[in-house]
Amino acid sequence: MITEQMSKKLTISSINTGMVIDHIPDKRSFKISSILNLYKYAGSVAIISSAKSKSMGFKDIIKLEGKHLDLEEIDKIALLAPGATINIIENSRVISKKLLSTPIKINGLLKCFNPNCITNHEIIKTKFVTESTNPYVIRCVYCERTFQDDIIRRMLV
Amino acid sequence: MYLDYMTLIDLQNSNKDLISVRDFTREKIEYILSIVKKIEAMPEKQQKLIAKGKIISSLFFEPSTRTKLSFESAAYSLGCSVIGFSGTSGTSVKKGETLSDTIRMASAYSDLIVMRHPLEGAAKKASEVSDVPVINGGDGSNQHPTQTLLDLYTIYKHKGTLDGLTVTLAGDLKYGRTVHSLAHALSLFNNNKILLVSPDILEMPDDILNEIGGRVTIQKTSLVDAIKESDILYMTRIQKERFSDLQEYEQVKGFYILTKKMLADAKSDLKVMHPLPRVNEIAVDVDDTKHAIYFEQAKNGVPTRMALIALLLGVIK
Ligand SMILES: [Zn+2]
Q: What is the 3-state secondary structure (H, E, C) of B86-141?
A: ECCCCCCCCCCCCHHHHHHHHHHHCCEEEEEECCECHHHHHHHHCCCCEEEEEECC
Across chain A, mean pLDDT equals 88
List, for residues B147-201, the tens digit of each pLDDT value: 999 999 999 999 999 999 999 999 999 999 999 999 999 999 999 999 999 999 9
Would residue B144 show up in a list of annotated catalytic residues for this protein?
yes
Would residue B26 show up in a list of annotated catalytic residues for this protein?
no
Across chain B, mean pLDDT equals 93
List, for residues B126-161, the tens digit of each pLDDT value: 999 999 999 999 999 999 999 999 999 999 999 999
Q: Which backbone phi and psi does B19 adopt, to 5 degrees? A: -115, -45
List, for residues A39-96, the tens digit of each pLDDT value: 888 888 999 999 999 999 999 999 999 888 888 899 999 998 988 999 999 988 899 9
Distance A147 CA to ligand 1 centre (A): 10
Region of poorest pLDDT, from A117-126, A132-141, B257-266: A132-141
Q: With cut-offs at 50, 70 and 90, classify the pLDDT of residue B92.
A: confident
Distance B177 CA to ligand 1 centre (A): 16
Would residue B274 show up in a list of annotated catalytic residues for this protein?
no
How far apart are the CA of B280 and the nearest CA of chain A, in angstroms? 30
Domains (range + CATH), chain B: 5-143+301-313 (3.40.50.1370), 145-299 (3.40.50.1370)
Q: Taking CB atoms and an 8 Å limit, are B142 and A122 in contact across chains?
A: no
Give the pLDDT score at A10.
Answer: 47
List, for residues B192-227, the tens digit of each pLDDT value: 999 999 999 999 999 899 999 889 999 999 999 999
B37 class by beta-carbon count within 10 Å (0-12 exposed, 13-18 middle, 19+ buried):
middle
Give the pLDDT score at A2.
Answer: 54
Give the pLDDT score at B12.
Answer: 44
From chain B residues 237-276, the ones with a CB under 8 A of any chain A CB are: none
* Cα gap A31→A49, rounded to integer Å: 12
- Confidence check: pLDDT of A11 > 70: no
Nearest CA in chain A to B124: A142
Angle at B149 between CA B179 and CA B189, to 5 degrees: 75
Find the mean pLDDT for residues B23-42. 96
The CA distances from residue B194 to B168, B187, B221, in Å, are 6, 9, 10
Find the mean pLDDT for residues B25-30. 95
Choosing from B54, B116, B291, B305, the catalytic residue is: B116
* ipTM score: 0.91
Find the mean pLDDT for residues B102-130. 97
